[in-house]
Structures are given as structure tokens and as C-alpha cells.
Amino acid sequence: MAEPFANPDVVIVGGGVIGATVGWRLQEAGLSTLIVDRDGQIPKASWAAAGMLCPVSEAHFTERELLDLGLQSAKMYPEFAAELEAASGASIDYTSDGTTLVAMDADEVRALRRLFAFQKECGLPVSWESADALHERLPMLSHLAVAGVFAPQDHRVDARKLLDAARSAFVAAGGRWLSDDCNTVRIHAGRVVGCDIGDHRIDCSTLIVAGGAWSGRLAGLPKELVPPIRPVKGQMLAIGMDPNAPLIDSTIRGRRAYLVPRPGGRLVVGATSEEKGLDDRITAGGMYDLLRGAYELLPGTYELPLLETWCGFRPGTPDNLPILGPCEVEGLVFATGHYRNGILLTPVTASAIARTVLDGAAPEVLAPFSISRFQTRA
């Protein structure tokens, strides 16, 4: 029992894709790293995610910093995926076939045109498609679809395979994994000195908070450094398409649902957004909304088998932006609060947080996402 508790250089609290890839990068750089993941549970957000890499189609008018970070991370994905697959020996099904936003009526066309204008203003690679062009490219799309926007650089990945590969790469690099709760972080004289895990005390000089929706529950943090994170429930489902004749082979997004195809005919449909705490029940209403949204976009889904239902918990912050980087406590680093964008932001987060630890200072790209933005100033 003694060896797993040998003192590491870095402790990461949370073993989702963020924690695992940060740990992998740190191990590669020569720092001994221990990941502590509560009760060995599969992290809900990582496991549940649809795996869309869509900074362009999910661009929001008031989130320019997040758009810039997402674009940088998306650009990193091809090389990141290749490195991770080589390190883990497993595919993550990174696919670069674009995403289509679909409008079904006049109101949706007006909203889509406003978004399209914003995307063009930002210099993003998008094209407007008429109903004829849309149906020529997506023949199984509902005949009610009247217009669309195609974002060729919005890609996708299998989030569950990404999670497995990240964990495998971390362990293969020599990282240690502990399936337990981190009870408290120990801080003395303004710096991290260790943490308590179960009945064991571990000394470390760096602790990274990467616990997703559970990040705010870590004891021992000063009140002003408790991350203001809430769980946002998302229900999802999967439908089985004919693998030899799938209804679609690229992601499409409508007002009520998004549809993400997988190899082998699996079609992921998501997602609800519910302020229900950690209620993990699958509801009839949630499934109805998703199935209705899928049918409105692809009527052919009506006859297809329902394969799976599940839910996850996005780590939401008050401004919907992640909490990234160091703080006034030396050695305490945040990598959490990614909300809907954890899978997209994995490469840039892993790289930037690793550089923060290795260099002792955060890269400039993390500046807008410091926890200091939530601290009350007298």
C-alpha cells in the first residue's frame, strides 16, 4: 500500500479528459504525477459528451475570448490526436468532415443569418447554403429545412475513446492513478504543501483542480478560491442507423437537437440543458425533446432502434467560461469549468496548464480565464 502514496511532484484532482491529458503532458516532461479520481467513477462530463469540436458553429456574440481559445485548440487537434493515439495505442476516431447548422423556418433563417454575419465578421470559414444546396449534400434531411450554414473546420471525436486513450497514455508514461477522494488540500504560508487522500497525507508542491462539476467541493481552499461551479445536467441518447447506409455522415445541428454520427452506424443525439443539480435520472420529457429534435431534422430516425440513453453533468461557471491557470496560492492551478467545451478545449488546456506548471507562469492565452475574475474586490 505504501508505493501508491509516494510523494509526487504534482497531484491532479480529477481524472476526466482534462486531468488525464494534463497529467500525460506533465509525465512526458519528467514530473511525477498522481491523479486522484473520486471513487474510481467514470467522469460524467467526459464520458457523456458528444465529442463535437465546433468553435465556429457554436460561436457566441459575447464570448470572443472563448472563441479564440476554441479555434486555437481545434487547430491543435490533428497533431494532438496523432500523438495521443501513438502514446495510448488506441484510436479516438478524430474525423474532419465539417458541421452543418440547419434552419427550419423563417425565424430560424433570420437567427442563422445573424450568426452567419458574426462568423464572417470574425473571419471564420463558413458558407451559406440554400435549401437546394443543403438537400443535395444531405439528401436524408427533412424537406422542411430551408437553409443552412456549413462549417468545414468544425470536426468531431469519440469522447469515450478520447477519455480511455488519455488515461492509457498517462499510465503508459509512468503516471500513477488513485481511485479515492481527495479530502482536502493543505496550504501553508501561501503555498500548496500537500493534500489528504483517504487516511493518507501526501506532500506535493503543485495541485491541479480538474474535478469538473465536483471542483467546488474540494475542502481546504480559501473561500475566495473555491471555484463557483455548478453541475448542468445533459441528457442524451443514441440511435442505430444502418452502417452500410447511414442517414448522415457528418454532424448537423438544429434548434432542438444536434446529431453526431459514429462509425458503425451509431447516431448520438443531444442534449438537454437542465439546472437540476446532480439528479442523474433519465426523464420521459428529456427523451421526448431529443427524439422530436432528431425527427424534425432527419425523419428517417423514426423507424430506427434506440440503442442507449445517458446523462452527464457539465461544469458550468457564472459566465460559462472555463477557470484556467494559477492563482495567488503558489502551486495551486485550476483546469476546470469547461462547461460545454471540455472535449474541444482539451489540447489547448493540456498544453497551457502543463506549461504553467513547468515554467512557473501561465501562458498569455489563459489570462481571460483566471479565477481572479470572480473575486470580490473591496
CB 18 within 8 A of CB 210: yes
pLDDT exceeds cutoff 70 at 4: no
Query: How confident is the model at residue 199, as a pLDDT?
Result: 82
Banded pLDDT at 2 (limits 50, 70, 90): very low
**90 SS3 class:** coil
> pLDDT per residue over 206-218, tens digit each?
999 999 999 999 9
Which domains does the chain show, CATH number per domain?
A: 3-48+160-228+319-374 (3.50.50.60), 95-153+230-316 (3.30.9.10)
Query: What are the C-alpha distances in Å from 18 to residues 14, 45, 343?
Result: 8, 10, 8
Sign of CA dihedral 74, 80, 85, 88: negative
- Min mean pLDDT across 68-72, 107-111, 128-132, 276-280 is at 276-280
Banded pLDDT at 294 (limits 50, 70, 90): very high
- Rounded CA separation 300/186 (Å): 56
pLDDT exceeds cutoff 80 at 138: yes
pLDDT exceeds cutoff 90 at 112: yes
Q: Which residue has the cell 444531405?
A: 138
Residue with the larger pLDDT of the pair 181 and 29 = 29
Average pLDDT score over the chain: 95
* Mean of pLDDT values over 274-302: 97
Query: How confident is the model at residue 198, as a pLDDT?
Result: 85
* Mean of pLDDT values over 273-286: 96
pLDDT exceeds cutoff 90 at 42: no
Beta carbons within 8 Å of 128's beta carbon, 6+ residues apart: 116, 147, 148, 149
pLDDT exceeds cutoff 80 at 157: yes
Query: How confident is the model at residue 39, as a pLDDT?
Result: 59
Banded pLDDT at 1 (limits 50, 70, 90): very low
| Whether residue 271 has a cis bond before it, omega within 30° of 0 | yes
Query: How confident is the model at residue 41, as a pLDDT?
Result: 56
State in Å, rounded, how far the first CA of the chain is from the last one.
48
> pLDDT per residue over 47-99, tens digit each?
999 999 999 999 998 899 999 999 999 999 999 999 999 999 999 999 999 99
Task: Write down the number of H helices and E strands in the chain.
Answer: 8, 19
Banded pLDDT at 43 (limits 50, 70, 90): low
- Min mean pLDDT across 175-184, 257-266, 318-327, 365-374 is at 175-184
CB 135 within 8 A of CB 298: no
Banded pLDDT at 44 (limits 50, 70, 90): low
